């Protein structure tokens, strides 16, 4: 099994991904700016899990995380770009500074992480990168801001670019684009009086299961996924079909 880094792995969907990878036998580094939460999760999982302070906006942070994984476990084979900043604000009210802040975490973070780990994977002739995109990056978003939607659309494009350029080196790069999931972050973003209407508008009739998305990450990170690259996998209850 490989060693994986999950960015933003201390809570929410990231924590579900961490648990799924660990349960599948992978060693998992939980990269997050919230070290208390990351350390708590690592302590819960025990052997094969460690917490790393990681600000995805900084190249040095990814380099240090990679070095820590190699020092502890001998190698790294999986990167999951999950860290996210979500802000819901009408497009005409978004300041340039807030736009830059969201793009820096969501899109810049994915780019830097894929570069740092992509170079390492290239030299080892193997690697798996899984990016967490969003339905918002495909349909422009409904409950999120334009900066969030733009960043997630950019992640889908970056996935294709890295997949094309890294494929000759035995590296796959894929994205998962979830719709609304049953997570505290979604319930915090959507007011209670709007949640029922949101669910009613989903053809499948429910919020998505984070555990299923996490299971998809495990599958895309497996050696058997060698022929799947550059794809965006939709998990949206039928809200967006193509």
User: What single-letter DSSP state applies at residue 202?
Assistant: S
Q: Is 148 a catalytic residue?
A: yes
Residue 86: phi and psi, rounded to 5, are: -115, 125
Query: Three-state SS string across 86-153, please?
Result: CCCCCHHHCCHHHHHHHHHHHHHHHHHHHHHHHHHHHHHCCEEEEEECCCHHHHCCCCCCHHHHHHHH
User: What's the helix, strand, coil split of the chain in %, to 5?
Assistant: 50, 15, 30
Residue 27: helix, strand or coil by DSSP? strand
Catalytic position from the list 148, 173, 190, 239: 148
Active site residues: 148
């Amino acid at each position: 099994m490989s060693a994986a880094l999950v960015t933003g792995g201390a809570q929410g969907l990231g924590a579900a991904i961490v648990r799924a990878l660990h349960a599948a036998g992978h060693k998992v580094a939980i990269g997050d700016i919230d070290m208390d939460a990351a350390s708590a999760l690592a302590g819960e999982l025990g052997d094969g899990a460690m917490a790393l302070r990681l600000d995805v906006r900084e190249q040095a942070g990814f380099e240090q995380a990679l070095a820590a994984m190699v020092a502890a476990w001998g190698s790294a084979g999986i990167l999951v770009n999950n860290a996210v900043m979500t802000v819901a604000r009408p497009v005409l009210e978004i300041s340039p500074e807030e736009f830059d802040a969201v793009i820096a975490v969501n899109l810049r973070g994915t780019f830097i992480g894929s570069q740092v780990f992509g170079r390492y994977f290239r030299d080892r002739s193997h690697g798996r990168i899984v990016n967490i995109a969003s339905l918002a990056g495909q349909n422009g978003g409904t409950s999120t801001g334009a900066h969030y939607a733009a960043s997630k659309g950019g992640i889908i494009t970056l996935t294709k670019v890295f997949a094309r350029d890294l494929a000759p080196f035995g590296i796959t790069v894929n994205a998962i684009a979830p719709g609304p999931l049953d997570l505290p972050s979604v319930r915090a973003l959507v007011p209670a009086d709007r949640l029922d209407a949101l669910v009613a508008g989903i053809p499948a009739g429910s919020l998505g299961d984070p555990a299923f998305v996490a299971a998809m990450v495990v599958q895309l990170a497996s050696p058997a996924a060698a022929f799947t690259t550059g794809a965006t996998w939709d998990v949206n209850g039928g809200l967006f079909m193509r």
